Every structure is written in C-alpha cells, then in structure tokens.
Amino acid sequence: MGGINIPESVKRGIEQVKQGKLVLIYDAEDREGETDFVIPASSVTPSEVAYFRNTAGGLICIAIHPIAAERLGLPLVSDILINVNDNFAFLRRLVEGEGDLSYDKRSSFSLWVNHRDTFTGITDRDRALTLRKICEAVDKVLNGDDKDTTYTFHTEFRTPGHVSILRAADRLLDERRGQTELSVALALLAGISPAMVICEMLDNETGGALHKTNAKAFASERDIIFIEGKEIIAAFQAVFG
C-alpha cells in the first residue's frame, strides 16, 4: 500500500486483524449508528465468544465475502422466502421490501447454522467451532488455484443453528455499507480470509446501541483500535478503486 493514502486508524486496524485481534468498527450516523466488535473468524476461541456476548451483548454473526457465499450455496434468507412454494406462500409476506427498514434496503442475513461436530450449538465452545469451520469453508472455495470446487457445505453444517451467517453485498461497499461489508472490506485490505466475526455493542443503561462516544472511550481505555466506517470506505476505494 506504499504511496496510497490510508487513514491511520485503518492502518492500525489492519495490523491488529492480521494478528487475529479485536477492533471496533462504527458504521455511520445515517445508518444504524452502531459500533461492532470485529475479529477474524480464523482463530476465534470460546473465551472470545464469551467476551463478545458478555461485553458487546449483541448478536454474534459471521460476515463472509459474497463470492464465497455464492460458491457455498448460501443465499440471502429473503431470497429463500421469496421463492418458497405455494404451500408456504404466506412466508413471502415476512420478507423486507416495504420500506420498513429505516437504515437500509435489506439485511444481510443468510442461514443460521451449527457445525455437525457441535452438541447444542449454543455454547461458547460450540459457537467458536462453528465460526472457525465456516472460515475454513470460505478458504476452501476462495483460495486461488487450490480452491476446492467439490466442497459441499451440508457435509459439515446443519440448519437451523446458532451462528448467523451474513452475506456481504455482491459489489461490497459500492452497493451497501453495513457492518457486514465494512468488516469484509477490512479483511480484504489486510489480506486475510474474508470471514469476520462481528457483534453489536449494546448499552445496558439505555437499552439501545452503545453511543459512539462511549464506544470510543471503551476502545481508548483498552487500547483497542476504533475505526470509522467512512475511513474503511476511503481506504478500500484508494486500494481497490
């Protein structure tokens, strides 16, 4: 990235995620206005899952690259519901699209899964295993000449489960600028597997999302890198055009 103007917070965030460490990403005031815990899925541990649920408090998800999702056969859940047969036609009414999402046109949810080696799937140990194995699956179908074109997702995973997979938009930040796309973009900037564990920071006092000011203070007190979504967007456009 020599000669390319990358915001300092993004440079430091890249170094952190390369080491498998936690960063905080704030999307934008005109979106959800939320800060997420973000960590690479490749080496997530049960203790990190526990930290996410106890300290961040939101939904623990894994955001993956759209090409990986396509090759793994993981559509958006909204696309699944739109295409149900007539026996379940009423389910189509559940799909967003009537303008009731105030922050975006659609969500990024794909399937909820457990790895087949888990027990209930909800424990920190089980979720950590599922998250790591999803990352391995992403690597299998993305890695250059060695990508596995015979891999089938159902051999390792079942649904319903306790880990939510988020499918990034096909054109990434050119199409959508949610936490899903921002975290995948950061992974691409870092040159690591585009499979990132994310979780919203919630506020126990207000019952809402943790305010940006408080999230920044949390990061500063713990020497965690705080990155603005707009900074990732600027870096991604500078590097990838």
Reference 111, options 162, 60, 146; nearest CA is 162
CA distance linking residue 57 with residue 238, whole number of Å: 33
Active site residue 65: no
Active site residue 115: no
Question: Which of 79, 103, 170, 203 is flagged as catalytic?
Answer: 103
For the chain, count helices (H), then strands (E). 8, 7
Active site residue 117: no
Active site residue 61: yes
CA distance linking residue 150 with residue 72, whole number of Å: 10
The residues pairing with 23 across neighbouring beta strands, listed in sequence order, are: 38, 225
119, with CB counted inside 10 A (0-12, 13-18, 19+), is exposed
Tell me whether the omega of the peptide bond preceding residue 66 falls within 30 degrees of 0, making it cis.
no
Reference 134, options 47, 15, 40; nearest CA is 40
Question: Which of 27, 61, 135, 231 is flagged as catalytic?
Answer: 61
Question: Which of 27, 34, 36, 126 is flagged as catalytic?
Answer: 36
Question: Which of 32, 34, 124, 200 is flagged as catalytic?
Answer: 200
Paired sense of beta strands 195-200 and 35-40, if any: antiparallel
Question: Which of 26, 114, 115, 199 is flagged as catalytic?
Answer: 114
**Angle, to 10 degrees, between the axis of helix 8-18 and the axis of helix 229-240?**
80
CA distance linking residue 164 with residue 96, whole number of Å: 18
Reference 134, options 160, 120, 153, 159; nearest CA is 153
Question: Which of 104, 139, 162, 214 is flagged as catalytic?
Answer: 162
Give catalytic residue positions.
Answer: 36, 61, 103, 114, 162, 200
